[in-house]
Structure formats: structure tokens, C-alpha cells
Chain A
Amino acid sequence: GAVVSQHPSWVICKSGTSVKIECRSLDFQATTMFWYRQFPKQSLMLMATSNEGSKATYEQGVEKDKFLINHASLTLSTLTVTSAHPEDSSFYICSASFGASSRGTQYFGPGTRLLVL
């Protein structure tokens, strides 16, 4: 149980285009979903926390207008990287939890590798 999927797993795009990444909880209702980015050999960096039906809470330094998060249902959250640039190339991972905050175990998706040319 507690399976989280992400789509796509890999995306290559041109600079200036927008990319949408989907995160789905397949067998449970996720009250809270989290979006992380991870650079090679570095720690997970929390970008934002989203609760179903409300606006996402962004971490300091993360541009909310650049990284649009929508959590429309208890099983789906999307991250849109708008006007992507090469520095946005990274590994983006979502996770979901049962609770209303980041308390407790998080179940991670397989990640999406974004390469912006």
C-alpha cells in the first residue's frame, strides 16, 4: 500500500517552455503532498507543501510564480515549472502523507528528472 506515482519520469525541454509534473497517490487519499528537488549528491530540498483544496506553502527562496503547484484532489498534485531555464534542471520528487502536515511517514514518488536545454 501507499504507492505514489509521478509522471513523466523523464523530460527534456527547451529553455523558456513550461513543464508540468503530476504526482498521484494510487491507493490512498493524501491530505498533504510535498514537492522536493534534489541535486546530485545533495539532500532533498523541500520546495513546497500543499494541502488539498488550499494554496501551497512555499519554502523560503522558492518562487511561487515559477513553480506553480495545484492540489486539486486528494490523489493528485501537479507542479508546473514555468519558463524553465537550464538552472531548473534537477530531480523533482513528490511525496504524500496521510496527515495534515509533514508529520509522520512520507511516501515518495519515483521522481522526475528534468533537463532544460
Chain B
Amino acid sequence: SQKIEQNSEALNIQEGKTATLTCNYTNYSPAYLQWYRQDPGRGPVFLLLIRENEKEKRKERLKVTFDTTLKQSLFHITASQPADSATYLCALEDSNYQLIWGAGTKLIIKP
């Protein structure tokens, strides 16, 4: 069956360190993968999109990698700040061009 998995346990990181979140998928061959941020009681906000032919994408303190062999994307936040605390969702496109969503990983940055 097709699955997209994110670590369901909250990730606690000390301020200033790099936070790394994982998104694994099975039985998909997505053309691209996206990462979103969701704050409590709010809709998701788009962060980054990475295509299957891109190994890495950066935006300010954010970096996303995409390994189609491992079927995994990693999302990094460098020099993390308490304001980065949120739930981060990954989403990929299936063969019907629909976005399939992971359940998200809650990130907590401690001062």
C-alpha cells in the first residue's frame, strides 16, 4: 500500500541547533515533494518544493533534500529559534496528481 510517514513523536531541539525532520514514503514515485508549516489552529503555510531531479533546495535557514532511491526527504532548520516551533507537514504528488499529506511532526525549539 502507499504510505507517507513522518515521525509522529514531537522533536525537541535546543535553540541554535539544527533540527532535522524526516519524511519517508513507499509505493510512490512523486514528481515533487513539498514541505509546509502548520501552527496550532491555523492552515498550513507553504515552505519549499523540491523536484525529483533536485537533490537539495535551500531557502534562508531551511534546507530540503530529496532522495528518490531511499524514498526520503529530509527537512533541516539551521540555527533554530523558538519561533520555528510548529508542526511541519510533507506532501507529495501521487500518480493522479493529487497531493498526499503526511501527518506532520511537531517541532519544539527550547530556549
Contact = CB atoms under 8 A, between A and B. Distances in A.
B43 A102 contact: no
B89 interface: yes
27 contacts: A41-B103, A43-B102, A44-B44, A44-B101, A46-B98, A46-B99, A93-B44, A95-B43, A95-B44, A102-B93, A102-B97, A103-B93, A105-B34, A105-B46, A105-B49, A106-B46, A106-B99, A107-B46, A108-B36, A108-B43, A108-B44, A108-B46, A109-B43, A110-B42, A110-B43, A111-B41, A111-B42
Interface residues of B, number: 18
A113 B41 CA distance: 8
Contacts of B79: none
A42 B101 CA distance: 10
Contacts of A4: 43
A68 B34 CA distance: 29
Nearest to A112: B43
Contacts of A103: 93, 97
Contacts of A18: none
In the complex, which of the residues B34, B43, B103 has the most CB atoms of chain A within 10 Å of its own CB atom?
A: B43
B104 A93 contact: no
Contact of A44 (B45, B46, B89, B93): B89
3 tightest CB-CB pairs across the interface, nearest first?
A: A108-B43, A43-B103, A44-B101
Contacts of B36: 108
Contacts of A108: 36, 43-46
Given A41-B103, A42-B103, A43-B104, A102 B98 contact: yes
Nearest to A40: B40
A17 interface: no
Interface in B36-87: 36, 41-46, 49
A42 B36 CA distance: 15
A95 B98 CA distance: 13
Contacts of A106: 46, 99
A101 B102 CA distance: 19
A6 B43 CA distance: 10
Given A104-B49, A110-B43, A111-B42, 6 more contacts: A43-B101, A43-B102, A46-B99, A101-B97, A103-B93, A106-B99
